[in-house]
Amino acid sequence: MRRRRLIATGIASALALGALAACAPGDSGGAQPTNGPASSGEVTTDIASLGDVELTVWDQEVRGSQNDALESLNKAFQDKYPNVTIKRVKQSNDDLQQQLQLALSGDDVPDVAQVNNARGDMGQYVAAGQLVDLEPYAKAYGWSDRFSDSVLAKVRYSSDGKTFGEGNLYGLPQTGEIVGLFYSKSKLEALGAELPATWTDYFAILDKAKAAGEQPMVLGNIEKWPAFHVFGPLQANYVPADDIVKLGMGNAGADWMAQGNVDAMTQFAKWGTEGYFGSSPNGTDYDPAWAEFGKGTGVFLPAGSWVGADLEAIMGDDLGFMAPPAGLDGQLATTGGTGIPFAIPAKAKNPDVAAAYLDFITTDEAMKIIADNGGFPVNNAAELAPASGVNKEIYEAFDKVSNEGTLLPYLDYATPSFADTAGQGFQEALGGQRSPEEVLQAFQDDYGRFVGE
């Protein structure tokens, strides 16, 4: 799954790039932009006037539908601009991020590359002056009108890389993802329950399922990261969305020891110690867990949109999906994000053409091509949703949350070490080895060190 790879890659990149973090933009130690709007403030959108151009694109869209959509878009871009030839280099995400890390410190860089937007990757590159500030292009092409604020927050950094979620734009995503609740329609019906309208309703259904001898939820957490996708949405029932964003993006101003977080962790720990996830969530692998849900174990599966198609192949019309109920603020808020964004290295030879490419592959027409090829478009998701099935519900939920609510960050974004800190803490909370307060103190220590509090 994509989230599993991002956690590992983000930590590795953070360690390898630790020395770069001290080189703020403008320092002699940082690689500074040599062309494009980051240095000149000027933008050229008349690509046909630029003569023959070879545009080098590094991407990780290697799977069937992903590859097909990008190939189609690349061809259409070259048809629109016959003077541009795209040199595409595709590879796995792990390989791409490793190659990019090396390339950005030299002079032989691609014009466009997909860059993980977590602090350990994009944040470090921004701090080192290695990515183009896309704000002038955003104004020229109207990207703020095309994308929701909640989506663009996932690719915004301050110029020193210290603040995540605010500041200027350093990438554009094509696809989306959301964490929500998969459920068995037949099991809900057997319980005499309807879809929960509130978290209180949800808690009541879980209690009713347990009393009836059903496993209320399914979680396979041996890899540690799946628990993030249970706690993140739950947290929104107890903590203001703005505070969760600060905590998840590693920005100062929030507190893991606040009462709302204690209440959320207490509920989460109760689910673990009282068997709401079965007898051994920490001893169960992620993939076998959701597969068991597909075969009839459990009423709910808190999980990401990426397992929808595989589950539907097993469960058919019995499978449903919903965004979690509205949070403490009365607005929808759940964990989610985007596919890996496309960015422009500061030393790119053709930044104006690269920006035109980013614009082209994220237009409304591009979103339709992505959807037609089986992908999950980050924009117009509800409009482009399939006519029926679980992906219709997933796309509509993402569209509603990202446009009307808050798409909460993955909590491992917070600090370079938070994936390990929280992953261990969640396991210990589920297993009862540490109290909710002890787990949260470890979270606060990690977060506090990072933000300097």
pLDDT of 429 above 70: yes
Which pLDDT value is given to residue 118? Answer: 86
pLDDT of 12 above 70: no
The whole-number average pLDDT for the span 114-132 is 93
> pLDDT tens-digit profile of 143-165?
999 999 999 999 999 999 999 99
Q: What percent of the chain has pLDDT over 90?
A: 87
Which pLDDT value is given to residue 30? Answer: 35
Which residues 6+ apart lie within 8 Å of 352 measured at CB?
36, 43, 44, 45, 47, 50
Q: Give the span between the Cα atoms of 373 and 365, in whole angstroms.
A: 13
pLDDT of 1 above 60: no
Contact 426, 411 (CB under 8 A): no
Which pLDDT value is given to residue 37? Answer: 57
Which pLDDT value is given to residue 325? Answer: 97
Question: Who has greater pLDDT, 72 or 453?
Answer: 72
pLDDT of 86 above 50: yes
Question: Who has greater pLDDT, 241 or 65?
Answer: 241
Report how far apart, in Å, the C-alpha atoms of 440 and of each of 172, 351, 453 are.
33, 44, 15
What are the tokens at 136? 């002038």
The whole-number average pLDDT for the span 251-263 is 97
pLDDT of 7 above 50: no
Which pLDDT value is given to residue 41? Answer: 58
Residue with tokens 């076998």: 288
Q: What percent of the chain has pLDDT over 70?
A: 91
Contact 35, 138 (CB under 8 A): no
pLDDT of 253 above 50: yes
Report how far apart, in Å, the C-alpha atoms of 4 and of each of 104, 320, 406 are.
24, 24, 23
Angle between helices 436-451 and 259-273 (to 10 degrees): 130
Which pLDDT value is given to residue 129? Answer: 96
Which pLDDT value is given to residue 20? Answer: 33
The whole-number average pLDDT for the span 369-380 is 94
* Number of alpha carbons in the 13 Å side-chain half-sphere of residue 433: 8
The whole-number average pLDDT for the span 158-187 is 96
Residue with tokens 């070259």: 78
Domains and CATH numbers, the chain: 2-175+339-380 (3.40.190.10), 179-336+409-451 (3.40.190.10)
3-state secondary structure 51-90: CCEEEEEEECCCCHHHHHHHHHHHHHHHHHCCCEEEEEEE
Which pLDDT value is given to residue 147? Answer: 97
> pLDDT tens-digit profile of 14-61?
333 333 333 322 333 333 333 345 444 589 999 999 999 999 999 999
Q: Give the span between the Cα atoms of 39 and 50, in whole angstroms.
A: 19
| Average per-residue pLDDT for the chain | 91
pLDDT of 369 above 70: yes
